[in-house]
Structure 1
Amino acid sequence: MTEQAKVPAIRFAGFTDPWEQRKFSEIVDVCSGRDYKHLDEGPIPVYGTGGYMTSVSEALSHNRDAIGIGRKGTIDKPYLLKAPFWTVDTLFYAIPKSDINLEFALCSFLNVDWKSKDESTGLPSLSKESINETVLSVPNVVEQNHLGNFFADLDRLITLHQRKYDKLVILKKSMLEKMFPKDGESVPEIRFAGFTDPWEQRKLEDIANRVTRKNEGESDLPLTISSQYGLVDQRTFFNNQVASKDMSGYYLLRKGEFAYNKSTSGDSPWGAVKRLVRYEKGCVSTLYICFGLDGADPDFLVTYYETDRWYKAVQMIAAEGARNHGLLNIAPNDFFDTALILPPSREEQELIGLFFARLDNLITLHQRKLELLQNIKKSLLDKMFV
């Protein structure tokens, strides 16, 4: 943006006029949402600050699209509302005036730091007045339409990649369920051709060896386990180093070895087991149970611990109520005594491991494409608006 001339840094060819300074009250009518609980079920979607909630029999806006913006709670995530719709009382809906392009109005809302206009000391909140009095710059309607159409196309592309990513995540979840035997069974629902032998129960100690080597100045990389990303640099993940600066008492983990974090979370009700793949070596807390593999395919075991098939075995050794601030009370010997179920054929293990490794790579590829498009949009919102 050129501040004095009131023009954006990037602009469609043919447009040279400066943008006009206006208030949001001049480009939209901000309307209040209402309670919907007195309404019958129906085809009209009800929206809150987090998106779609339910469907009812009546609409607040019958034929005029709008932008939803939080009145209370989440106030910095405006989004498009297609009529007919109903909004709850914590979500304003802003209807563009006749000379304002809907998508341009949405982009204008996205470009405002609404959190800076929070008027509460507790739950974030916005008032109609704070929205209406916010100043923005507006081009003529033809340029608005160009911008609106451009960002609508970009949003459709982002949505397309989001759907591809979501489908792959759902596919993985489904295949994890079907390619590993259910509790009490010895063969999976889906299997690679040529394998018919029942899967076998093995104790972890039969295929793994415990790692207890101490870090003696060999590494200064503090690692932590994320249920989503695996073993990651603690400094980057927490934006801070939680581990002690002196990590001489920590376990030294080498690439390819595993660690079990006994801390529970919503995603990991019985903790998480992950393999070190991002770094050659690193340090982990001695609260972790670490091991290397002797008698199983590592990619298979990575996938096995992404299923819930090992939960029951861990549940049996975790004493009822034996949790300390979300940390399971599990002794290493008991953990290595847990039973796993795996194919007797190393070849089948490798095929399963390879299948999920490739699926993970595909998911990561689509995730990166999605993040790239989202970053492009964020950058262009900054450069194509005043």
Structure 2
Amino acid sequence: MFPTQFTSASFTWEQHKLGDLAESSIGGGTPKTSAKEYWGGTLPWIQSSDLIEDKLFNVDVKKHITNLGIKNSAAKLISQNSIAVVTRVGVGKLAFMPFEYATSQDFLSLSGIKGNPQFVTYTFQIAIKRLAHQLQGTSIKGITKSELLKVPIKVPLKKAEQDYISKLFFSLENSINLHERKIIQLKQMQKCIQQIITTSSGKNWEFIKLKNILKERKLLSTKSKNYPLVSFTVNDGVTPKTKRYEREQLVRGNVENKKYKVTKLNDIVYNPANLKFGAIGRNKFGNAVFSPIYITFEAHDIDIIFLETLLTDPNFIKKSLKYQQGTVYERQSVSPKDLLNMKIIYPPYDLQLKFGHLFGSIQKKIDLEQHKLDQLIKFKNFLLQNMFI
């Protein structure tokens, strides 16, 4: 059950308009880009693309302007501990800014926050999401200043209670950031291994074509308990079918008798049209069926983890793209024939096992960190949805 000390029922909450919780609201502007003397200064200047949805802290500022740029444009210098809100392109994104900054015209900043600034940032995130959701499907391209300042939000009457909730969420943010950094570091280790393999040579090392170790699996079957219907995505690989990818309602005729392509555990799977986005990997799910648009290979005479290491290497994917065919970029694809004619490094089997074991052990750590990260994000969202109702 949800801890009662974290719910709105635990404290005395009051409803306010967002404008009541800030001393001032400040717009932004963009200094003339052709005037070099306006750019490259020490003042952080943010634009919509600098903010990441649901990431409220630690904005990665990419551009800086000068005092002259401030003086000769609509940009304003905004005090620290303000909240920057995107009101045009990317409506709904916001961030807490602990330092002085300026923004483009796509922002409205709330300065002089009355109460705990971090807490107001969290509660405003929920309120702005609700407003953005209400605007979905309309022709409105943004949120006006008056609409924004009228957004209703609830806050505990006592600042100490705001501080308590803020610390809770800030602790969660730190844990989330820690796991994200660990995943990045582990993926960098995998890239180093891939680079070492592809740039190494030794006795009995050779280059072979993929057609010597891969055979396309063309077996078709209806979906069943032993062969469930799955999807293949860039992020999740072979994964259970979800509503997002469910299109069976569009299929005419007897769906139960529809035949799909069979894929089996440890097959190498790729999407010819999405290889450019990294849609290639090992089937870790197991025996299943999926759309015939996917290609699945049975591997032999090679360690499968080692092979996965090579085929998921960004450099390999980049090389494969020279075989893309098609006039429309989105539909350009790499045929199975061309992929199978590509060459890979082929060291002795004992080295394949060592490289594969090392790569696989790192992947297990990544999967574990990702699971912890997903759980933390889920818990954070649960708190946000239940605390600020």
Q: Tell me which interval the TM-score lies in, with the shorter structure as reference length.
A: 0.7 to 0.9
Report matched runs for 1:60-139 at 5 Å.
60-61=76-77, 63-97=79-113, 99-112=114-127, 113-116=130-133, 118=135, 121-122=138-139, 124-138=141-155, 139=157
- 1:27 corresponding residue in structure 2: 21
- 1:362 corresponding residue in structure 2: 365
> Are the aligned partners of 2:231 and 2:241 in contact in 1 as well (CA < 8 Å)?
yes
**CA separation of 1:361 and 1:207: change in aligned 2, threshold 3 A:** same
> Are the aligned partners of 1:208 and 1:291 in contact in 2 as well (CA < 8 Å)?
yes
- Structure 1: any 5+ residue segments left out of the alignment? 1-7, 182-186, 189-195
> Are the aligned partners of 1:234 and 1:242 in contact in 2 as well (CA < 8 Å)?
no
Match of 1:350 among 346, 349, 353: 353
Higher deviation after alignment, 354-363 or 286-295: 286-295
Using the TM superposition, give the Cα deviation of residue 130 of structure 1 relative to its aligned residue in structure 2, in angstroms.
1.0
Higher deviation after alignment, 58-67 or 239-248: 239-248
Q: Aligned pairs, how many?
A: 358
Report matched runs for 1:73-222 at 5 Å.
73-97=89-113, 99-112=114-127, 113-116=130-133, 118=135, 121-122=138-139, 124-138=141-155, 139-181=157-199, 187=200, 196-197=202-203, 199-215=205-221, 221-222=228-229
- 1:294 corresponding residue in structure 2: 300
Q: 2:268 is matched by which residue type in structure 1?
A: F
- Structure 2: any 5+ residue segments left out of the alignment? 51-60, 71-75
**CA separation of 1:355 and 1:61: change in aligned 2, threshold 3 A:** same
Q: Tell me, what secondary structure is at the counterpart of 1:125?
A: coil
> Are the aligned partners of 1:34 and 1:88 in contact in 2 as well (CA < 8 Å)?
yes
Q: 1:107 is matched by which residue type in structure 2?
A: Y
- 2:383 corresponding residue in structure 1: 380
Q: CA–CA distance in 1 between the matches of 2:216 and 2:334?
A: 18
**CA separation of 1:93 and 1:264: change in aligned 2, threshold 3 A:** same
> Are the aligned partners of 1:205 and 1:337 in contact in 2 as well (CA < 8 Å)?
yes
Q: CA–CA distance in 1 between the matches of 2:382 and 2:304?
A: 41
Using the TM superposition, give the Cα deviation of residue 358 of structure 1 relative to its aligned residue in structure 2, in angstroms.
1.3
Using the TM superposition, give the Cα deviation of residue 67 of structure 1 relative to its aligned residue in structure 2, in angstroms.
1.1
Q: CA–CA distance in 2 between the matches of 1:16 and 1:255?
A: 50
> Are the aligned partners of 2:273 and 2:334 in contact in 1 as well (CA < 8 Å)?
no
Match of 1:257 among 251, 267, 281: 267
Q: CA–CA distance in 1 between the matches of 2:40 and 2:330?
A: 42
Q: CA–CA distance in 2 between the matches of 1:348 and 1:242?
A: 48
Report matched runs for 1:233-382 at 5 Å.
233-235=240-242, 238-241=245-248, 245-246=255-256, 248-264=258-274, 266-268=276-278, 272-279=279-286, 281-311=287-317, 314=320, 318=324, 321=326, 326-328=331-333, 330=335, 332-343=336-347, 345-382=348-385
**CA separation of 1:265 and 1:35: change in aligned 2, threshold 3 A:** farther
Match of 1:57 among 66, 71, 75: 66
Q: CA–CA distance in 1 between the matches of 2:222 and 2:168?
A: 57
- 1:4 corresponding residue in structure 2: none
**CA separation of 1:44 and 1:266: change in aligned 2, threshold 3 A:** farther
Q: CA–CA distance in 2 between the matches of 1:49 and 1:318?
A: 34
**CA separation of 1:243 and 1:264: change in aligned 2, threshold 3 A:** farther
Using the TM superposition, give the Cα deviation of residue 311 of structure 1 relative to its aligned residue in structure 2, in angstroms.
4.6
Q: Tell me, what secondary structure is at the counterpart of 2:221?
A: coil
Using the TM superposition, give the Cα deviation of residue 121 of structure 1 relative to its aligned residue in structure 2, in angstroms.
4.2
1:258-303 deviation digits (Å, cap 9, x = unpaired): 23321136523xxx43222113x11234444332122101111111
Q: Tell me, what secondary structure is at the counterpart of 2:269?
A: strand
Q: CA–CA distance in 2 between the matches of 1:134 and 1:62?
A: 21
The alignment yields a C-alpha RMSD, in angstroms, of 3.2
Q: CA–CA distance in 1 between the matches of 2:235 and 2:139?
A: 31
**CA separation of 1:274 and 1:123: change in aligned 2, threshold 3 A:** farther
1:198-234 deviation digits (Å, cap 9, x = unpaired): 6311122322333222215656633333222222234
Q: 2:212 is matched by which residue type in structure 1?
A: D
Using the TM superposition, give the Cα deviation of residue 235 of structure 1 relative to its aligned residue in structure 2, in angstroms.
3.5
Q: 2:331 is matched by which residue type in structure 1?
A: G
